[in-house]
Amino acid sequence: MRADALRNRERIIDTARTVFREQGYDASLDEIAKRAGVGAGTLYRHFPNRDALLDAILQNWVERVEAATEKTLAHEGPPRELLLEWFRTYVELISLHKGGPAKITSALGDPESPIRTKCQVLTGAAERVMERLREEHAIRDDVDAVRVCQLVGGVATVADNGDLDADAVAPLLEVVADGLLRA
């Protein structure tokens, strides 16, 4: 890719990240092109559709997921604390943009989703946490990483739609954790 094309691509991604954070994932692509200082044709040459642009934005996010997972797995303490730490981290990761929790949660487990690879990163990270809890015999045998992500994603969606803060979300996550852990 030519240097100027690469600069345009990066400018579009940075601008889209800002616009999506402000307006949600349904923000106008024309608005993104305008703010990035490029024509709509340039935007569509790099990103033929909204999902391709979202995929590019989420690439940096994948690296954050990996780092957050490592931090959670390094947690020392009771299994419930580990699980709640992961849930708080998970909610934070999928809530970076308005509308993000619903978009990501609805795509989980959907093999046709354009963001499926990013969802697989998320569920893979959750599976690593679940595996640690299985090794400690702390979590129910029927716990599935995709379903856990969907459940916690549902809580994040409610928080996103209702503008709930972390203090309001914490008791909801505790109920979910208590339902997953062995008695």
Q: What is the CATH number of the domain that holds 100?
A: 1.10.357.10
Is residue 53 one of the residues assigned to a domain?
Answer: no
What's the domain range around 130?
58-180
Tally Cβ neighbours within 10 Å of residue 83: 27
pLDDT for 72: 95
Instruction: Write down the H helix ranges in the chain.
Output: 3-23, 29-36, 40-46, 50-73, 79-94, 100-107, 116-135, 145-162, 166-180
Is residue 104 one of the residues assigned to a domain?
Answer: yes
Residues 161 and 137 in one domain: yes
Is residue 124 one of the residues assigned to a domain?
Answer: yes
- What mean pLDDT is predicted for residues 138-164? 95
Secondary structure (3-state) at 17: helix
pLDDT for 163: 92
Query: Using CA atoms, how far apart are residues 176 and 155, in angstroms rounded to an integer?
Result: 9
Residues 39 and 64 in one domain: no
pLDDT for 118: 82
| Cα angle: 129, vertex 124, 76; to 5 degrees | 20
Residues 90 and 144 in one domain: yes
Question: What sign does the dihedral 148-149-154-155 (CA atoms) show?
Answer: positive
Q: Is the pLDDT of residue 113 over 90?
A: no
Residues 42 and 99 in one domain: no
Q: Is the pLDDT of residue 58 over 80?
A: no
